[in-house]
Amino acid sequence: MTPSNYHQLYSNFKWNIPEKFNIGISCCDKYAENNPDKIALIYEYENGNIINFTFREIQKFSNKLCNLLSSFDLKKGDRFAILLSQQPETLIAHLSGYRMGLICVPLFVLFGEDALEYRLNNSEAKVLILNKNDLEKILTIKDKLQYLEKVIVVGDVKEDDLIIDFYKNLDKSSDKFTPLETSSEYPALIIYTSGTTGPPKGALHAHRTLLGHLPGVEISHNFFPKENDLFWTPADWAWIGGLYDVLFPSLYHGIPVLACRMKKFDPEKACFLMEKHKVRNVFMPPTALKILRNVKNIKERFKLNLRTIASGGESLGEETLKWAKDEFGLIINEFYGQTEANMIVSNCVEIMPVKPSSMGKAVPGHIVKIVDENGNVLPSGEEGEIAVKSPDPVMFLEYWKNKKATKEKFINEWLLTGDMGKMDEDGYFYFLGRKDDVITSAGYRIGPSEIEDCLIKHSAVSLSAVIGKPDKVRGEIVKAFIVLKEGVKPTEELEKEIKEFVKKRLAAHEYPREIEFVESLPMTLTGKIKRKELKMRELERQRL
């Protein structure tokens, strides 16, 4: 894509989706063969040491892992789970899975035992790769994992029938492998969404999803790529944002990516990191931007080389946009999407003025509208549900093993996002709220059902309801309303115990930061919890 008038760019855009396309080949092999010394990945260890990986080196590691995986008798379409963070082995694992025709299942390293058990069993993953420090969680639940046959461990480990040492076995493997040419429609990965009306759903994406992401990535970063571009994000590579808003679009264009494992986002370290590596392009979730505002005098203390900042997940507001302009000399391009259909709306300061609180206009190639409950397109200014017209290359294939949920995601030709919004007469979209009860906290979309299911497992809990409570820094925090079992007294100690109970079993970002013990919960006649009523109560309290 090249800079142009937005209307002309949108009107003239045409998809070119080939019959054959493989993410692993397009993001690795074409550069490894034609420009083998080109840098693909820059990895900074926690101790500050830096190692660069060329496309050829990444290809060789990927070939070795392909041969190792092949020795496990994996077949095309088998699931390969990846429980790793921002590190070279994550990229190698994904590329290997794609090039073999496997379906990759990225998993968040902060997931607890219950969250991992559900996703590994639901995806029927046969092989899992993880870091040594996450092995204990898997060993604790291994008897409950019905399909898991091998666990590949990054780090020195004693091997047995289940456990395989990653590098020890890679050293024995050949670095020659012929990748599988897949159809562009062939499944590539399953990314689990937040459980909102039930357990988390696995969004199954085809290889073409990378091509579908490209226009959104390119315009949100002012016609990426340009000379000397270098991409980084603090977003974890287990999520679609880290993987397909940054990692694979960059490699597809031959642009290096910076990787750095941050156990917790450190704004000072982020600034030093961007300065040291002369980062040019950043996808920065809204919460990270808000935390960055705590760093004083960024433009005076750091010599940053940023060309673009893009952000998505929640509205930034005029104040944050002004702060970014003052500190970075840039206007942030906000964008919008979800796991099932990502990067479909975006700002691009080079071809359109940015309106505060707006997510931007429909990205070229995507038809996005506001529809009513019957799927009828609403006129500008009217509130309704944000919807994307199908078919669309970025759109998911289906929910894994869930035909009912897949059918309910669509009405007529429209994929329903579940988010309410409106579009003004100039084509700018505005997010109004979630139709369902999903919670957005620190950039993470969190479903209440999974947390409620976890809470009910605690011996003191009788009933629970979870909502998102507005928070200045995180957007929302998880708040739980809990009815205790008869005879159990609410105490500060019990509250702390319940919080740790959820944190251990699910993830650190999913535990309830606030708990309110109540006598009863508002219910419908059919026994469903009225979360919206609880949320309205909470909003009313904050107004008083």
Question: Tell me, what's the pLDDT at 527?
Answer: 60
Least confident among 112-126, 264-278, 423-437:
423-437
Tokens 């990225």 correspond to what residue?
A: 106
User: Helix or strand or coil: residue 122?
Assistant: helix
What's the token pair of residue 364?
A: 């070229």
> Cα–Cα distances in Å, from 335 out to 55, 125, 192?
30, 32, 21
Q: Give the span between the Cα atoms of 341 and 392, in whole angstroms.
A: 8
> Which of the residue ranges 92-101, 232-241, 413-422, 507-516 has the most confident prediction, judged by mean pLDDT?
92-101
Question: Tell me, what's the pLDDT at 197?
Answer: 53
Parallel, antiparallel, or unpaired for β 202-206 and 187-192? antiparallel
pLDDT band per the 50, 70, 90 thresholds, residue 199: confident
Q: What average pLDDT does range 236-252 have in this prediction?
A: 96
Tell me the pLDDT tens digit for each residue of 301-360.
Answer: 999 999 999 998 777 777 788 899 999 999 999 999 999 999 999 999 999 999 988 999
Q: What architecture (CATH level 2) is domain 439-543?
A: 2-Layer Sandwich (3.30)
pLDDT band per the 50, 70, 90 thresholds, residue 298: very high
Tell me which residue of 309, 314, 313, 301 sits closest to 231, measured CA to CA. Answer: 309
Q: Where in the chain are the domains?
A: 22-182, 439-543
Average pLDDT of every residue of the chain: 93
Q: Kindly report the number of other CB atoms within 10 A of residue 97's CB atom.
A: 30
Tell me which residue of 87, 72, 44 sits closest to 128, measured CA to CA. Answer: 72
Question: Tell me, what's the pLDDT at 493?
Answer: 96
Q: Give the span between the Cα atoms of 260 and 150, in whole angstroms.
A: 27
Yes or no: say if 328 and 304 are a contact pair by the CB < 8 Å rule: yes
- Superfamily grouping for domain 22-182: ANL, N-terminal domain (3.40.50.12780)
Tell whether the model's pLDDT for residue 543 goes beyond 70. yes
Cα torsion angle, 57, 61, 66, 68, sign: positive
Q: What average pLDDT does range 386-404 have in this prediction?
A: 97
pLDDT band per the 50, 70, 90 thresholds, residue 404: very high
Exposed, middle or buried: residue 277 (CB in 10 Å: 0-12, 13-18, 19+)? middle
Instruction: Look up the pTM and report it.
Output: 0.87
Those residues whose C-beta lies under 8 Å from the C-beta of residue 79, and which sit 6 or more positions away, are 102, 103, 104, 105, 123, 124, 125, 126, 190
Q: What average pLDDT does range 5-33 have in this prediction?
A: 94
Question: Tell me, what's the pLDDT at 289?
Answer: 87
Question: Tell me, what's the pLDDT at 28?
Answer: 95
Exposed, middle or buried: residue 161 (CB in 10 Å: 0-12, 13-18, 19+)? exposed
Question: Tell me, what's the pLDDT at 195?
Answer: 58
Question: Tell me, what's the pLDDT at 444?
Answer: 82
Residue 191 pairs with which residues in a beta bridge?
A: 203
Tell whether the model's pLDDT for residue 435 goes beyond 90. no
Question: Tell me, what's the pLDDT at 198?
Answer: 62
Question: Tell me, what's the pLDDT at 321?
Answer: 87
Q: Give the span between the Cα atoms of 532 and 529, in whole angstroms.
A: 9
Q: Kindly report the number of other CB atoms within 10 A of residue 317's CB atom.
A: 14
Tell whether the model's pLDDT for residue 288 goes beyond 90. no
